[in-house]
């Protein structure tokens, strides 16, 4: 089923922080209400026959930083 990829910056300290961006990963199923190929109209009994929720989001590192994250830079544990 469809889910969101949460974009992360990976810091030199090893922590990852969300960038605020995300992308929807399309499962391609006609039985997923979030899929691009799910019929917009005429899906008989959609609430009972099609998945109405996204799968849990997954994290994906989209950039790396040579710096410490803001918590480590301030000396706090993240």
Mean pLDDT for back-to-back runs of 10 residues, the chain (78 residues) = 96 94 95 92 88 96 95 79
Both tokens assigned to 19? 């960038």
Classify 35 in phi/psi space as left (phi over 0), alpha (psi -120 to 50) or beta: beta
pLDDT of residue 77: 62
- What is the pLDDT at residue 78? 55
Contact in structure between 62 and 9 (CB atoms under 8 Å): yes
Cβ-based burial of 26 (10 A; exposed 0-12, middle 13-18, buried ≥19)? middle
Cα gap 26→36, rounded to integer Å: 7
Model pTM?
0.76
Assess contact for 46 and 13: CB atoms under 8 A: no
């Amino acid at each position: 089923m469809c889910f969101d990829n949460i974009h992360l910056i990976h810091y030199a300290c090893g922590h990852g922080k969300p960038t605020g961006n995300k992308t929807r990963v399309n499962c391609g199923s006609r039985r997923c209400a979030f899929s691009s190929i799910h019929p917009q109209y005429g899906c008989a009994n959609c609430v009972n026959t099609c998945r109405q929720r996204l799968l849990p989001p997954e994290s994906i590192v989209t950039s790396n930083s040579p710096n410490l994250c803001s918590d480590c830079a301030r000396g706090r544990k993240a």
